[in-house]
Copies of this chain bind each other. A is one copy, B any other.
Amino acid sequence: MTQAAKFRALHQGPELLVLPNAWDAGSARLVETCGAKAIATSSAAVAWAHGYADGEQLPTATLLATVREILRVATVPVSVDLEGGYHAEPEGIADLIAAVLEAGAVGVNLEDGRGAPELLAAKIGVARRVAARVGRELFVNARTDVYLKNLAEGEAAVAETLRRAAIYRAAGTDGLFVPAVVAPAEIAAITAGAQLPVNVLVRANLPSVAELQRLGVRRLSAGCALTEMTLALARRATRELLESGTYRTLFAEVIPFPEINGWFKRD
């Protein structure tokens, strides 16, 4: 079974695919050792690691280098968050899609943001054609930002999400990502109407994985939550070191050096 086939099968339920998103090769190995069945990147977390704000500021060469580093060490399928494809024009994303496939990734996220759904639909079409041209299977996850960008609320948000789901489905998407939806009734209405595997984003007030599964969700992403959390701890330990001159936080809970070092094969 190819990585692409494995990744596709992970969306077919009944078990929900949980993705603790990675930002570099080290975090990819970490989540793998915890039992993650696939690795997905978070665009924000990858951008931050390299010193860039989120929002397609990161040079695509740097993004591709990170994807190659993750694929060098990963043993499970890898999907890449491409934001809007790092290009305003649909045809402009073709080279990036080809490069991500060439690197060995089997999935991509493409998002609409504040753009017209027809633009994302055209990008999905380009991704499909590039995958066919290079002869690789690709799972396209279409992200709609109806909730994330507050483009609508309540029943209107559900309706707009389902309207877009139909457009993206017609364009050839394999999945629908709806970050920032948290209300169980709205999640249930979306999974019932989307006719696509639905992906939601971890939030403090999101229903648990067990409840999401009952609501019909097929994929859950942590997004940049792991980075927001680890940087908070790193800040607390750094402040203690710089301000109090002590190391309590630094050593309260660690993975020993040899254990981390052992995650990485030697060429």
Q: For chain A, what secondary structure do more than half of its interface residues adopt (helix, strand, loop), or is it mixed?
A: helix
Q: Give Cα A256 to B245, complex, Å.
A: 26
In the complex, A5 has a CB within 8 A of chain B: no
Contacts of A65 in B (CB 8 A): 62, 65
Known contacts A48-B260, A49-B26, A264-B52; A237/B242 CB under 8 A: no
Partner of A18, one of B35, B234, B245: B245
The count of chain A contact residues (Cβ–Cβ below 8 Å) is 77
Known contacts A44-B261, A228-B255, A235-B34; A208/B246 CB under 8 A: yes
In the complex, A222 has a CB within 8 A of chain B: yes
Q: Give Cα A260 to B50, complex, Å.
A: 12
Q: Is the CB of B208 within 8 A of A228?
A: no
Contacts of A160 in B (CB 8 A): none
Distance in angstroms from A205 CB to nearest chain B CB is 9
Q: Is the CB of A264 within 8 A of B226?
A: no
In the complex, A6 has a CB within 8 A of chain B: no
Distance in angstroms from A34 CB to nearest chain B CB is 4
Contacts of A230 in B (CB 8 A): 230-231, 233-234
In the complex, A134 has a CB within 8 A of chain B: no
In the complex, A202 has a CB within 8 A of chain B: yes
Q: Is the CB of B70 within 8 A of A51?
A: yes
Contacts of A163 in B (CB 8 A): none
Q: Is the CB of A51 within 8 A of B34?
A: no
Q: Give Cα A117 to B238, complex, Å.
A: 33
CB under 8 Å from chain B, chain A span 187-204? 202-204
Q: Give Cα A44 to B260, complex, Å.
A: 10
Contacts of A241 in B (CB 8 A): 18, 20, 202, 209, 222
Contacts of A250 in B (CB 8 A): 202, 204, 222, 225-226, 229
Known contacts A229-B250, A246-B208; A26/B44 CB under 8 A: no
Known contacts A51-B70, A241-B202; A209/B246 CB under 8 A: yes
In the complex, A99 has a CB within 8 A of chain B: no
